[in-house]
Chains A and B, each alone.
Chain A
Amino acid sequence: MVEEIGTTPEGDIIINVGPQHPATHGVLHLVITINGETIKKVEPHLGYIHRSIEKMCESLTYRQFIYVTSRMDYLSAHINNHACALCVEKGLQIEIPSRAKVIRVIMDELTRIASHELWWGAMAMDLGAFTPFFHAFRERETINDIMEETCGARLTMNYMVPGGVMLDIHPNFQKRVKDFITLYKSKISEYDELVTGNIIFQNRMKGVGYLSPEDAISFGCTGPTAKGSGVSSDIRKLYPYEVYDQVQFDEVLETGCDSFARYMVRIREMNQSIRIIEQLIDNIPEGDFQAKTKAVLKLPKGEFYQRVETARGEFGVYIVSEGGTTPYRIKFRSPGFSNLSALDQMARGSKLGDLVAMMGTLDLVIPDIDR
């Protein structure tokens, strides 16, 4: 008859959430211990999509390894590529043309909006509301179309190269981005109507997944996860790169420390990204889109670290060079990996349904965690 399996000596049930589970958005495997509906422990098991990108990069040249990083956090592909390009440029000590800088920042911010749009839809779907997913995709598709026109791909662009960007922007680029901003502004109020203001949603989010500011720092949480706990961690503000020190934008901080605060950070961050794009889109300087670089790039012996802000938090590229054409060692500090480590602490004591809300607001991208 029905046998007793998968229980702890205390009589708690052990459940495998994932690797094939609708709420883990990929192949995340969480082993959770529950007592009734109450979670006692969450233990992530990773590696289902681990491709050892760090080791792969050791055999690729400094031009080649950038495209691989699009496959990590595929929703922030531009920003990952950007970080690698910046790090290589730091090693080569070359200054890139200001046109390239502005294009890069616009692309980054478009990526950030696209990523947050997808997160918004997927998170609402985790909570059981399917409709927002499709509505979010309407706006996201517009960004993807813009990317496709200029970069030639929708998801893994490989557009940032050491020295600038691979191709100049498409002649339609500025017009289409402005069209997108108009569309976005007309639709963003629907997001509040459908999800943010909804009483069921607020109750599902408020007070769920408490993460104190001290813990957020200690767990190395960054991006909206830390900002939702009131921890200032925006690399764009703290250690500005490219033209972020020349544009006006606010670092979004919420003090709720719960899932709703993290949700609001992302919604407000999209508006800030729009603000940055609006400042830059009409002021793309004329000139080259790429600095002159040698055909074969060789980094001097040494160590180079570049931190950037992706849609999920701080992304770091650590290149150790021995002076050759390929990196001796590359370490990618991915935001999702650190953010995930806080999940256990957040989830203990809450209900099974809350776990979904927490994972939703951590915005986990599994290839980013596994690398």
Chain B
Amino acid sequence: MNNEELKIKISELLPTATFEEGTQWLTINVAPGDLHLLATQLRQDTSLFFDYLFCLTCIDWKTHLTMVYHLDSTKFRHNIVLKSKLDISSPAIDTVSDIWKTANFHEREVYEMFGVNFLGHPDLRLLILPDGWEGKRPMLKSFEDPINMIRL
């Protein structure tokens, strides 16, 4: 499917979704509450079949966080990007690790680096950071660490 067809199809699935213009791939903005439902449909719909989540990350915009999901279909080879705005003070979103298993590790990384709470995640613990770093959110722009960070 090309981007136009995808746009129509996704609008049908989730009428509240908005689309970004001028991006490399079709970019869809979704409310955090709708994300899991849409993701399930994207994975299961036989004409979409987004079975490969190749990148999951988070961006700190200082005022809010944005979760970014890059999806690919191994069958049709079309790509989309899902984005979801989160509140910076207590970010939370449904996990997608039940849809794509790779999200398990990627969400754990985002959890410790950005402090995003993934609801329903089976094993939300620190993966990369050592013990004692719970809740420190080192990848946020506001993070300061006078000992471990060297500014040039």
Contact between chain A and chain B defined by CB under 8 Å: yes
Q: A307-B54, A318-B55 are in contact. Are A47 and B152 (CB under 8 A)?
A: no
Tell whether, in the assembled complex, residue B139 and residue A314 are in contact, meaning their CB atoms are under 8 Å apart.
Answer: no
Tell whether, in the assembled complex, residue B57 and residue A220 are in contact, meaning their CB atoms are under 8 Å apart.
Answer: no
Tell whether, in the assembled complex, residue B52 and residue A220 are in contact, meaning their CB atoms are under 8 Å apart.
Answer: yes
Q: A52-B139, A231-B74 are in contact. Are A305 and B152 (CB under 8 A)?
A: no
Tell whether, in the assembled complex, residue A220 and residue B129 are in contact, meaning their CB atoms are under 8 Å apart.
Answer: no
**A92 at interface, CB cutoff 8 A:** no
Tell whether, in the assembled complex, residue A55 and residue B102 are in contact, meaning their CB atoms are under 8 Å apart.
Answer: no
> Separation in Å of the A19 CB from the closest CB of chain B?
12
> Separation in Å of the B3 CB from the closest CB of chain A?
15
Tell whether, in the assembled complex, residue A54 and residue B139 are in contact, meaning their CB atoms are under 8 Å apart.
Answer: yes
Interface string of A319-330 (1 = CB under 8 A from B): 010000000110
> Separation in Å of the B76 CB from the closest CB of chain A?
11
Tell whether, in the assembled complex, residue A305 and residue B24 are in contact, meaning their CB atoms are under 8 Å apart.
Answer: yes
Measured in the bound complex, the distance between the Cα atoms of B55 and A305 in whole Å is 10
Tell whether, in the assembled complex, residue B23 and residue A329 are in contact, meaning their CB atoms are under 8 Å apart.
Answer: no
Tell whether, in the assembled complex, residue B102 and residue A341 are in contact, meaning their CB atoms are under 8 Å apart.
Answer: yes
> Separation in Å of the B73 CB from the closest CB of chain A?
10
Interface string of A297-338 (1 = CB under 8 A from B): 000001111010000001010101000000011010100011
Tell which of A222, A329, A337 touches B59, judged by Cβ atoms closer than 8 Å: A329
Segment touching B, from A1-9, A211-219, A254-262: A211-219
Interface positions of B from 108 to 123, Cβ below 8 Å from A: 109
Tell whether, in the assembled complex, residue A305 and residue B70 are in contact, meaning their CB atoms are under 8 Å apart.
Answer: yes
List residues of chain A with CB within 8 A of the CB of B128. 46-47, 50, 370
Tell whether, in the assembled complex, residue B101 and residue A215 are in contact, meaning their CB atoms are under 8 Å apart.
Answer: yes
Measured in the bound complex, the distance between the Cα atoms of B129 and A55 in whole Å is 14
Tell whether, in the assembled complex, residue B54 and residue A47 are in contact, meaning their CB atoms are under 8 Å apart.
Answer: no
Measured in the bound complex, the distance between the Cα atoms of B57 and A320 in whole Å is 12
Tell which of B52, B57, B68, B109 touches A217, judged by Cβ atoms closer than 8 Å: B52
Measured in the bound complex, the distance between the Cα atoms of B24 and A307 in whole Å is 12
Tell whether, in the assembled complex, residue B51 and residue A303 are in contact, meaning their CB atoms are under 8 Å apart.
Answer: no
> Separation in Å of the B117 CB from the closest CB of chain A?
20
Tell which of A302, A329, A342 touches B22, judged by Cβ atoms closer than 8 Å: A302
> Separation in Å of the B98 CB from the closest CB of chain A?
10
Give residues in B with beta carbon < 8 Å to A.
Answer: 22-25, 27, 51-55, 57, 59-60, 68, 70, 74, 77, 100-102, 104-106, 109, 127-130, 138-139, 151-152
A-B pairs, 10 with minimum CB distance: A220-B102, A47-B128, A331-B57, A341-B105, A218-B101, A333-B55, A46-B128, A219-B101, A329-B59, A219-B102
What are 16 A-B pairs at a CB distance below 8 A?
Answer: A47-B130, A217-B52, A217-B74, A218-B101, A220-B53, A220-B102, A233-B74, A305-B55, A318-B55, A320-B59, A328-B59, A329-B59, A331-B55, A333-B70, A337-B105, A338-B105
Extra contacts, 11 of them, besides A238-B77, A303-B23 (Cβ < 8 A), are A46-B127, A52-B138, A55-B139, A217-B52, A303-B27, A305-B55, A316-B54, A318-B55, A329-B59, A331-B57, A333-B55
